[in-house]
Structure 1
Amino acid sequence: MGHHVHEYGHDAGSSLLEWLLPALVLPAAAGAYLLLVRRAHRRHPVLGWSRWRTGWFLGGVFLLGVALLPPVASFAHEDFRGHMVQHMLIGMYAPLALVLAAPVTLLLRTLPVARGRQMTSLLHSPPARLLAHPAVALALSTGSLAVLYFTPLYHTTTGDPAAHRLLHAHFLLSGCLFAHAIAGPDPAPARPGVRARLVYLGVAIAAHAVIAQMMYGGFWIDVHAPISQVRGGAEIMYYGGDIAELLLAAALVATWRPAPRRASGRASAAPRGTSLTA
């Protein structure tokens, strides 16, 4: 580990682009969601749409804005601790909020019937079922952290603005995928039962803790930054990751519903799992 400052941190053009993209994209995403909510109310006035869902989405957009715009973005360009704050917001906290907003369910309510059937078929396709499995989501989200911090990959992303944006996209998408696989209210045909998902969540908690502890101790870490920054980043990962994963566990418990039983008193023939509210 040694001293390192992001090579593109002093490039005014690159910095402006880094901040201009989220400043344009995030309000557009919020506007699109609100437009779909309005359409859902018009098409299904009885069902409507939950204000809580809308609030979750706007909250997730806000967290992304905090992470990708100054002062946090400026801090992340200069300090590894800032990078870790970004990682927590983009990869863990914002995805949970966005997933709890049930955007897929909202989209299905507003699409024409034919388009809705096509989208449902896509969600049930083998690639989608595989991608949405907790094991795959865990590997893409938590497993990729070991590749990022124990190889030269992190140093590469700090020297290339395009690679840095791709890293942010990976954090966000993999985080959404894992939150959806564990506790998402949207349809998930391949989602296992609650016990299995708790096991995967436990593995994620343990993996985060091990990576953070190895980072704090300087074991095999390939991060070019002062030791104080690396240790500070490790602490942010350790405690921030625990809080985010506890929130994910709470979301799983809050959205879980026992399988219904038949009037005869016998257990329902439905497979074990959960029925998640939309």
Structure 2
Amino acid sequence: MHDRGHGAGSSLEWLLPALGMLAVAGAYLLLVRRVRRRNPIQGWSRWRTGWFLCGNFLLGGALLPPVAPFAYEDFRGHMAQHMLIGMYAPLALVLAAPITLLLRTLPAARGRQLTTVLHSPPARVIAHPAVALALSTGSLALLYFTPLYNATMDSPVAHWLLHAHFLLSGCLFAYVIAGPDPAPSRPTVRARLVYLGVAIAAHAVISQMMYGGFWVDIHTPIPQVQAGAEIMYYGGDIAELLLAAALVATWRPEPPRRAATREPSREVTTPAGVPASEPTGSG
């Protein structure tokens, strides 16, 4: 158990994230309204709007009481918070297609600039599934098998940075695997399923090692660590199954490539190697 005498229960600490999420939700709804005004026929999917509000709700549930104070005091609360911020909320936010919404509301010049950024070499590296997997799942080993977790619990700034990492890396992985937004050089469905399978296996191994106490560096009672490992094991499985379902739901078959219709030219070559025209067959 960690001492949070710096004022974890103060209303200001919960007010700021609540206001931030309300502002983000308001901005999304404002863009949706603008899209519907510009194109009343096509409009914007209510499902996507619902997913965004759902993601905001899950994020608020993680960052506000009663979950947030519990996470400061108990490792089980931390793990529940981690699941919400790093896996469930990102999937809902990504399914809301915020990049597509932004592209449909920006002026043409700004939209081309954003598209250029999305297809730039740095974006291609960051959006590679291996990078997203390392940032979202690989960082868990660094967090729980080194003194990093204890350091974040002793520093409010580090604790909020950890939240930001969970959210951004979770959104990146969900976007790469099943996001409806355009992505640079998105791999095939089969390749994405392989990366998702690796993430499932890594979550299972890390949670089992935590439950067994192997190489774990978490300064909290053992029953809490084991219960947190169970939350990670089962909660992670459910979240990743939902991600797999989203991948199937958002998958669209690529249009078949048009086969070349031009037949190979039938040329008659003279002994000297110079192409000659075919006989016409007359006479």
User: Does TM-score exceed 0.5, indicating one fold?
Assistant: yes
Are residues 179 and 13 of structure 1, via their aligned partners in 2, closer, same or farther at CA, if it must alter by over 3 Å? closer
The match for 1:6 among 2, 12, 19 is 2
Residue 19 of structure 1 contacts residue 69 of structure 1 at CA under 8 Å; is this kept in 2? yes
Map residues 8-47 of structure 1 onto 2, 5 A cutoff.
9-12=4-7, 15-47=10-42
Tell me the residue number matched to 2:96.
Answer: 101
Larger relative contact order, structure 1 or 2 (CA cutoff 8 Å, min sep 6): 1
Quote the offset at 1:257 in angstroms. 1.6
2:65 and 2:9 mapped to 1: Cα distance?
A: 14
Report the number of matched residues.
Answer: 261
Deviates more, 1:173-182 or 1:186-195: 186-195
2:16 and 2:254 mapped to 1: Cα distance?
A: 44
Quote the offset at 1:134 in angstroms. 0.6
The match for 2:217 among 219, 222, 243 is 222
Tell me the residue number matched to 2:234.
Answer: 239
1:54 matched to 2:49: yes
Alignment identity in percent?
79
Normalising to structure 2: TM-score of the pair?
A: 0.89
Are residues 46 and 161 of structure 1, via their aligned partners in 2, closer, same or farther at CA, if it must alter by over 3 Å? same
1:131 matched to 2:135: no
Quote the offset at 1:12 in angstroms. 2.3
The amino acid across from 2:240 in the alignment is E
Quote the offset at 1:265 in angstroms. 12
Per-residue CA distance 1:242-273 (angstroms, 9 max, x = gap): 0000000000011112222368899xxxxxxx
2:77 and 2:8 mapped to 1: Cα distance?
A: 21
Map residues 1-278 of structure 1 onto 2, 5 A cutoff.
5-7=1-3, 9-12=4-7, 15-261=10-256
Secondary structure of 1:54's aligned partner? helix
Per-residue CA distance 1:210-238 (angstroms, 9 max, x = gap): 00000000000000110110000000000
2:12 and 2:216 mapped to 1: Cα distance?
A: 30
Quote the offset at 1:46 in angstroms. 2.1
Are residues 17 and 166 of structure 1, via their aligned partners in 2, closer, same or farther at CA, if it must alter by over 3 Å? farther
Rg bigger for which structure? 2
Residue 99 of structure 1 contacts residue 185 of structure 1 at CA under 8 Å; is this kept in 2? yes
1:190 and 1:222 mapped to 2: Cα distance?
A: 38
Unaligned stretches of 5+ in structure 2?
Answer: 262-283
2:148 and 2:28 mapped to 1: Cα distance?
A: 34
Residue 64 of structure 1 contacts residue 90 of structure 1 at CA under 8 Å; is this kept in 2? yes
Are residues 263 and 139 of structure 1, via their aligned partners in 2, closer, same or farther at CA, if it must alter by over 3 Å? closer
The amino acid across from 1:6 in the alignment is H
1:221 and 1:46 mapped to 2: Cα distance?
A: 56
Quote the offset at 1:19 in angstroms. 1.3
Per-residue CA distance 1:190-228 (angstroms, 9 max, x = gap): 210000000000000000000000000000000011011
Residue 71 of structure 2 contacts residue 81 of structure 2 at CA under 8 Å; is this kept in 1? yes
2:76 and 2:8 mapped to 1: Cα distance?
A: 24
The amino acid across from 1:126 in the alignment is P
1:10 and 1:95 mapped to 2: Cα distance?
A: 30
Residue 14 of structure 1 contacts residue 161 of structure 1 at CA under 8 Å; is this kept in 2? no
Per-residue CA distance 1:81-113 (angstroms, 9 max, x = gap): 000000000000000000000000000000001
Q: What value does the CA root-mean-square deviation take over the aligned residues?
A: 1.6
Quote the offset at 1:18 in angstroms. 3.1
Normalising to structure 1: TM-score of the pair?
A: 0.91
2:8 and 2:140 mapped to 1: Cα distance?
A: 29
Tell me the residue number matched to 2:276.
Answer: none
